[in-house]
Amino acid sequence: MNLWELFGMAIGTVRSNLLRTILTMLGVIIGVSSVITLVSIGKGSQETIAKQYESLGTNLLVVNLRGTGRATQLNYDELMQLESTNGIKSIAPTMTKSSANVKYEKDQQTYNVIGTNDRYLEMQQGEVETGRFLAQADLDFRNHVAVIGSDIATEFFGKDDPIGKEINISGYVYTVIGKLKTKGSNTNGTSLDSSIFVPLNTLQRDFKLGTIRSRLRRSGFQHGYDAGAERSEHLFVQQI
């Protein structure tokens, strides 16, 4: 039996069982398509998550203090002394006034207000669209100034320039000095777009928030900060 005879027999079998052939082909097509789709979705999700982590920075460490007592308390000056430690490039302590009532003229919304320093924006890889971010002088003089995310700017000011406008944050008046570019949410769910940033000690004084409980620490090394992290945490315990 030669090749052409085998081919003829195959064609004859297909024609005599056309419905079964179609169903078999359909099953194979659906199966292969499903596998390709699942693999594509998985790869896409992996790339999305990887980009979110990259947006935070591969050398960024977040430290949260838990518990009570002096061992969990650290003031701003004590914390910033750790920047001189080998392997630490910069530190941005943070305090948050959650769901604060924010008003501009007759419009009122609730947003998270984050107290921090001038290093925070670079560490979060955010950018200023108009105006400026916080400066060390704002902390030194406890200025009532605020930098707003793009969502907040749109909500209160639309297409108008928000710089120089005054907003009321839970009874305290702050002057807008900057507006951030749209960035989206980080992997921890926080968003620069819907947050307000003010000098840490101003927020601490106005709302009596107590001691610093959270900080961001950026290593001076892009992919190898483990040793620096151990040193940082060791000094952190010694310092308090």
* Bigger pLDDT: 74 vs 34: 34
For residue 199, give the DSSP letter. E
Is the model more confident about 127 or about 233?
127
pLDDT at 42: 85
Which pair of structure tokens corresponds to residue 116? 């921090």
The pLDDT, as a whole number, for residue 90 is: 86
Specify which of 62-71, 124-133, 213-222 reaches the highest per-range mean pLDDT.
124-133
For residues 217 and 124, the answer to whether their CB atoms sit within 8 Å is no
| pTM, full prediction | 0.69
- For tokens 């090394």, what's the residue? 221
Give the H/E segment covering residue 38. helix 18-56
Q: Which pLDDT score, from 0 to 100, does residue 18 have? A: 78
Residue 18's identity, in one-letter code, is: L
Q: Provide the b/e sequence for 113-129 (b: ≥16 CB within 10 Å).
A: bbbbbbbbbebbebeee
Q: Is the pLDDT reported for residue 95 higher than 50?
A: yes
Average pLDDT, the chain: 81
Residue pair 97/146 in contact by the 8 Å Cβ criterion: no
Of 66-70, 121-125, 207-211, 228-232, the one with minimum mean pLDDT is: 228-232
**102 pLDDT above the threshold of 90:** yes
Instruction: Supply 47's token pair.
Output: 């790339």
**pLDDT for 118 beyond 70:** yes
Question: Poorest-confidence range of 16-30, 187-201, 219-233?
Answer: 219-233
Give yes or no for residue 49 having a pLDDT over 80. Answer: no
Per-residue CA distances from 8 to 4, 5, 13, 166 (Å): 6, 5, 9, 85
Mean pLDDT of 130-143: 97
pLDDT score recorded for residue 51? 65
Is the confidence at residue 10, as pLDDT, over 80? no
Pick from 165, 173, 133: nearest CA to 149: 133
From 27-36, 46-55, 130-139, 197-206, the region with the lowest mean pLDDT: 46-55
Return the half-sphere exposure (C-beta side, CA atoms, 13 A cut-off) of residue 90: 12
pLDDT score at 105: 94
Amino acid 217 reads R
